[in-house]
Amino acid sequence: MSDDGRQNDGSENVPSRQRKRFPGISSRAYEHPADRSALVALRKLSGFDTVFKALSGLLPERSLRLLFLSDSVRVSDQQFTHLNDMLRDACYILDLEKVPPMYVNQDPQPNAMCIGLDEPIIVVTTGLVELLDEEEMRAVIGHEVGHALSGHALYRTILLFLTNLAVRVAWIPLGSIAIMAIVTALREWFRKSELSADRAGLLVGQDLRSSMRGLMKLAGGNHLHEMNVDAFLQQADEYEAGGDLRDSVLKILNVLPRTHPFATVRAAELKKWAESRDYQRLLDGHYPRRAEDKDTSVSDSFRESAAHYATSVKSSKDPLMKLVTDIAGGAGGLGGRVRRGFDGFTGPAPSDDRPNGSSGDDSDGPTDTPRRDED
């Protein structure tokens, strides 16, 4: 296939618009800082992958492969040919040498996944195929190929196994707590890995509006004429900035059991990255290569991650993040802001407008201590 999107025989199976290809690209080029630092650290641990792969006798990977082979439709030149073209095109653009097998599974729930211990396999549901148009689907397949290139499939399979195991041993108190602690940590990484894969999807499709539409459809269904991308992105701003400290806590509680970030949040994160200098440099051909991965510094990756979080917290509109920034900066009147933030739990908070001669401070004395809601 040539760079103008045509195969050597002249037949066209990708959009007529020209898209860039990224020879030898490393997954570090598009990975979210939190995802990248975690993966670099894991890869540097001698024998880490070997230990996990040693669990293959316990993990149901072989069973899953047989299940998809026997009860799903494998994408090929004879079946779902348009999806096969998209898959091969995504692997071509991201320079993934071995095209992973892909299956279409009968399920009305729109979903896609990339799993596997030794070799990744991609599964998309009929609900997703029927929901998305060609360019939106191209971004999704690029998303899953990004998971494969990043080596996410191994850890995602482990999470799938541990989640099922946690359900089975829920009646064992200590066993359940131990497994759920691991599951919670893996889910946090999983959510960050989704942000990375969204970026890979954009690199494959190179059409931000299509990526936005796909995420919007996952949230609101196939009523595209009733929806608007700009209004959808405004929801993300409202979600981040709205409410008080109570809402910040509820956001955390709502996201903990999820494997994916909320659709509006994903859309806003992707748009922010697409408008960044890093993305433009990548399109211009300036990106890390896989050949350099072995020389990657763990400490540098952690510093990048820390810098990213510091910037995110500082620029966040979320009330809790603003509070964290104020604590770090020693902002005055902090106690009053905390009381006002939780004032919905405790009733009207005492006024902070004290006379100039008042000795009142922001220490939480007995009369100022918020009463804890027992829920």
Determine the residue type at 149.
L
Q: CA-CA distance, 2 to 21, in Å (whole number)?
A: 10
Contact 233, 270 (CB under 8 A): no
* Packed helices 229-241 and 208-220: angle between N→C axes, nearest 10 degrees: 70
Task: Give 355's DSSP letter.
Answer: -
- From 31, 61, 136, 144, the catalytic residue: 144
Crossing angle of helices 173-205 and 33-44, rounded to 10°: 120
Q: Catalytic annotation on 269?
A: no
Cβ contacts of 159 within 8 Å, gap of 6 or more: 183, 186, 187, 190, 259
Q: How far is CA 187 from the centre of its chain?
A: 10
Alpha helix (H) ranges present in the chain? Answer: 33-44, 48-53, 61-71, 81-93, 126-131, 134-150, 152-168, 173-205, 208-220, 229-241, 245-255, 263-274, 277-283, 298-315, 319-329, 334-341, 343-346
Fill in the DSSP letter of residue 292: G
Can you read off the two tokens belonging to residue 48? 């880490």
Q: CA 66 to CA 64: how far, in whole Å?
A: 5
- Active-site residue numbers? 144
